[in-house]
Chains A and B, each alone.
Chain A
Amino acid sequence: MVCVLVATSVVMTAPNLSAQEPSTAEQQNSASEKSNNENSESSQTVSPREGKAIYQELCASCHGGVGEGVPGKFAAPLVGDRPVIDLAKLIEETMPEEDPSRCVGEDAQKVAQYIYDEFYSEVAQARRRPARTELSRLTVPQYRNAIMDLIGSFRYRSRLTPDRGLLVSYFDSRGLNPRRKADEGIVDEVNFHWGTKGPLPEQLINPEFAIRWDGSLIAPETGTYDFILRTNNGTRLWLNNNRVALIDAWVRSGNDQEYRSSIFLVGGRPYPLRLEFFKAKEDPMSSIELAWRLPSGRESIISSRFLTPQRFPELLVPSTPFPPDDRSIGYERGTTISKAWEQATTMAAIEIADAVAQRLPELAGFGEKDPASDIPKVKEFATNFVRRAIRRPLTPEEQTRWVDRHFENSPSLETSIKRVILLTLKSPSFLYLDRNSSAIDAYQIASRLSFAIWDSLPDEQLLQKAVDNELLKPEVQREQVWRMLRDDRAKAKLRQFVHHWLGTTHAVGLSKSKELYPDFDEQILADLQTSLDLFIDDIVESEKPDFRNFLNADYLYLNDRLAKLYGYELATSPIAGTQSAEHAKYHKVSIATDQRMGVLSHPLVLSMYSYHNASSPIHRGVFMTRHILGRRLKPPPEAVAPFSEDLHPGLTTRERTILQTRETTCQACHGMINNLGFALEQFDAIGKIRNDEKGKPIDASGEYLQKNGTLVKFSGVKELSTFLINSPEAQDAFIEQLFHHLVKQPVRAYGTNTPDQLRNRFTDNSFDIRKLIVDITEIACRPAAKPTSADQANLPAVITPNSTSPTEGSSP
């Protein structure tokens, strides 16, 4: 429903636009358009053109080409806050000065609209301002990561191994008595129905026995999870808290067999998990299931993909809710603050101060025996806490103000530490990045690197490199970046980016017509998500993650259900080298690329960009236009509901789409959108291959007019993807989105030719995504380019009034 959604929120008149679009949202687009060939975009925007012609003819000689003024004639720039109607009246009556009658009526209207949209209005001014890096607070995910890693830095840290599943120990007693341990091993998931026999009939001969599962849980997404235990017996679950059970159902009572509890977790991180179970003498049967409901809504047994036998330390997850970050320009960034945010930072600071105070002996490493001798240890902890939080050493004055002072005349150690933490976590030194715009030192580089790659604080090694000033050396920087890229957090951030690029972050609640696609149920949707995740992991985890592989991969991950539904034969051998049952259930299936190739033809992607009962060339086209090619689209001139199939029962989807968008006003954008989407017409609403529709053979031919003016034609996904792989536009789009995902500042703020430099490097490096990240971080560590007057003058004269980002409004 692209048209309808966008059209209802943004109406095509400038004053309304200014009311609804924050001015900051415009800046990025203005900058992005810069490298575009002006003609190709503007040739499609029909309306302002005439106004522009009139302006150039009658006004520009005094007011300048873009209203900047002409010294000696009319020097003041044409900016202000009059509405269009006023401007038109003014022009009609007074302009041009030498002969106001030359611009009246419709012409005055048009030129007024043009002036307003292009440079007069506040929105237009904001749009024309050159991109610059802005002071930014931590985004909400950055805040959470920073807190978790700050507290975590006082605990041990280990890296995730590929082992999956949980460690299991069986006991021949109800009390988990270590001396009665009967056996141990690894299990994939906890989903057992042993009936009357029990798990190990030969070893567990008592009528009573107990089992413990140990390890960690890897949370795939951020949000509130429900954990669900189903059992006929007694059970207890600890998650990310080794002292207080999340679920305590040791006492079985009455008919209760299902126990639920909620917990907020941050995605991409492992949390310690322990599950205990016992069967009492009188319990006739034994069974246990460990399931969850993800924040995105799926409920299932927890698969081994998310379980590891490794034991990780607890993570202090701040659970205070924060207002969402500004995503108006396509990526989350922290350039605005609000009352709600200020309150959230206060509540979170109190929450964390409290949690740290409770765990002080553990974190600061002292016993509770002799509080007097603990003071130096707590002070040392406090100093390290502040230093890591503000990401640089403290000056002596700061040492007094931030730390020492709070230990004088304080009623207790607890109060002292709480004050230090409150001050630190409320301080702009913690909350803001890049706090000094005039100079970049080694500490700022450390922060820029760690936030770009991890969305979190620098670790000790990085800070140490900054102390030594080593980090100012490019080779040391690179070395650190390579080191950081091996960290799980870097992988999580890259994985997240790919979903962002594909628009698959929220594949929730996708449902299809039960009549047409009876097999497409929740389970299939979950399978498809796993299939796509495995595919993305494949590339992200590989030695040289190659951008092109996303588009030209000749394989799919399929399990039995998916293979059956999509008509593939499963290979006999499961994925090698993994221990996971779920992995084993999925097979890497080779596919014929003339039919299906790369991620554009992944069934989940195709299903997402479809209606519930039909494919949608428009959704698919908009997705490719925005996400893959990085083009901006205007909102449609009017809200249009898609034609119902019933009205034109004989037409194919392609024919119906053409019929609906045949008006000239539609064709400005749909000429591009539809012809990209048509190339995927060989896939139906669930991404299944089809050869005909309504008795007519599928026509998957499409075309695309590139920014350089050349038209390319293609038919089917193979030709389309092959074109995209080699398209500088698609490469630029990928680079730019990745840059913004990592750095959260506009790429052009680092120099107008930065995108070109990055693309050249990317090409030279065989499209290695990890090398691209290294290049991006190197640029991000440069001082931001100072906008020159030349930059100003070079601004494009025509900017489409739509600022809709590549990530918004394009999902069905």
Chain B
Amino acid sequence: MSQLADKIAAAVRPARSLTFNAVENVSSISPADVTLLRHLLEAELAARKIRVVQDPLPETLGDIKISEGVEGPLMTVEIHRSDDVDSREGIAIVALQKRAVTSSAEGGVPLILQRRFIFAQAEPILDFVSPDAPDGAGTRLLVLERDRVDYLRLDQARWSVDHSSAVKSRFHAVRDPRGLIAKDKNDDEAIQIYLPQETCIGSGHGQTDLGCSPSVRAKPPAVLFMGHMWPLNPAEPRIFSAPYDPDRNYFEGLEANFGDSAVRLPAFYSGAAMSEGHRDSWILAELDGKARLYDGSPSATAPFSSWGDNLVGVSADCDPSWLVLVSGTGDWTVRDTLRIYRVAEHQAATVGQPLEFAGPVLALWPAEDGKSARVVSRNLQTGMYEGSIVSVSCSN
């Protein structure tokens, strides 16, 4: 702003006063920030002995325009003589920094979806966890990317990378990689990282390098070894763990027991599980774009239409029902939503208002506490990947 004021001061000399027309804002800068910018500019000009006045017959006029290019917002000031609006005494342009914006959910219904924005970065995110707090309120963060884990530390409201551990794969990449971070059940300090072709073990504090082993999967007619089972329900991995297809972007069918018979359920992108007594139930987002309920039978007992490919089970203190968070339909070029569904009697009913995202939800993983979910989304306006924690709470 100081630079801009210098240029304006040079353009208006010898005038000691200047009148600004109304600021024209054609950028994503908020009106409040526009007002703030104008006040900052006026203060800088005052320091240069140039008064900004509201003169109906001014000698010198300034047009302020806040616009936006591909590299961000800009502030342009054109100085004119008031007797010739086509004159240009000077043009000053400065680039502006945009302030981070966080989203919040709407409420007013029995169950409310709340989003806590945790961080954003330009590199794709597969998963993230806060080792201190499942609700993301901690001061440390592990971020899983395609080929490394970053250990971030919160320092004066900004995340900075403490250090990184590389994941060196000897396999060719997959185009839609997915990854999951899980805490080691036997060691509070340890984490397990699940990637399409590797599983890694390391310290949650990043004090040691990651140790990775491949999820070998020889193709038929050789022996088929299905690789590591990804724990899709950290609270109860017994009922919901499944092998991941290392060459694709989905889970191969999970082994389900119905009475005395073990059955492999269809391949799926994501799912939610519920256990009541000795009866286990699953909802799977399958490859044909439909979600199906498997409840006491190897055949689907109910299909759910218009669900996206990302779903996860959550619980709420005030509601004992089976609650499922579900993303919307549409591809990765459009905005997305998360909705809560209450599942009972083989039917799913949406509850409350959807939570909107400025781009697709790319990953949706259950948090350790079972009450929230980690969401990775891409903001189509900024191009940034965003990590958030979404939880269900009661409106009262």
Partners in one complex: no
Show the binding face of B for A, using Cβ within 8 Å: none
